[in-house]
Amino acid sequence: MIIPAFDLINGRAVRLYQGNYLNQKHYDINLSDYLEKYKSKRIQIVHLVDLDGAKNRENRQIELFKEILSYSTIPLQIGGGIRTTKDINTLLDLGVKRVVIGSSAIHDKNKVKKWLKIYGSDAIVLALDVYINNNNQKEIYINGWQKRTNVMLEEIIEYFLPSGLKHVLCTDISKDGTLLGPNFKLYKDISSSFKNINFQASGGVATLEDIISLKKTGIKSIIIGRSLLEKKFTIEEALKCWQREL
C-alpha cells in the first residue's frame, strides 16, 4: 500500500532534513485539496506527523487534526509526541484510525504492551528508527534520532509480538528526507524475518523504481512524503507501480 505523508509544523507542511528542526523546507500546499484527491484515488490511509507535538507535548496540533477530521473522511495515522494514554484517547476519540508510538516503545515497554492489549493491534503503530551500525546491526535511535539506545530492532519486535504487534513503521535514519533511495536490504531482511508484521518502509524514496524495488522486498506499505510534495512522480504513477504484478 502507498501511504502519503505530511510532516506538520503550525499547520504547515514541512520536511526536516535528517530530523533537524533547524533544516526545514516549507511547502505551500492546501492540505484539504491533497486529502480530497487521495480519497478519490482510494488511498487507504494518510500518515501525519505532528512535529510541534514531537518537540513539545504542550504544543500538539489537536485543533488542526480536529479540523481535518471535520472535512475529510480519509483514514489518518498520526504520530508525534504521543506518550500517554490520554494522548491516545484524545486522537482515537477524534476519529484517528491509528496512532504512532515512538520513544515509549523503548523506555516504557510495559505501558506500550498494555496499549496493544487495550486498543488492539490495528490501532497502534510502532515507529522504530534505525541506524545500521558498523557491525551491520539495526540499532534503534529515539528522541528525534538524538539518542542512541543500544537496543536492536529485532529485540523490540520480538518483545511485542506476544502482545499482538502488527504494524511497524521502520525508518533508516540515514536515508530519511534525502531522496537518495531506500535501504532495500534492511526491508528485505525484516520482511523475511517477521512475516506476520505489516512493515511500513520510510525514508529515501525518490523514484518509481524505488517503489517497485521496495515491493519486491516483501514490505507491506511505503510511506512517501517529499517525493510527492516535490512532484518527483504523481500519486497515480506511484499507485500503478505498487499494483504492478512482480
Angstrom distances, CA of residue 29 to CA of 4, 23, 209, 238: 14, 19, 26, 20
Which DSSP state fits 117? H
The DSSP 8-state label assigned to residue 178 in this structure reads: S
Active site residues: 7, 129
Residues in the chain: 246
| Residue 196, phi then psi, degrees to nearest 5 | -90, 0
Write down the residue that cell numbers 479540523 correspond to: 67
Crossing angle (nearest 10°) for helices 153-160 and 109-119: 50
The span from the CA of 170 to the CA of 135, in Å, is: 19
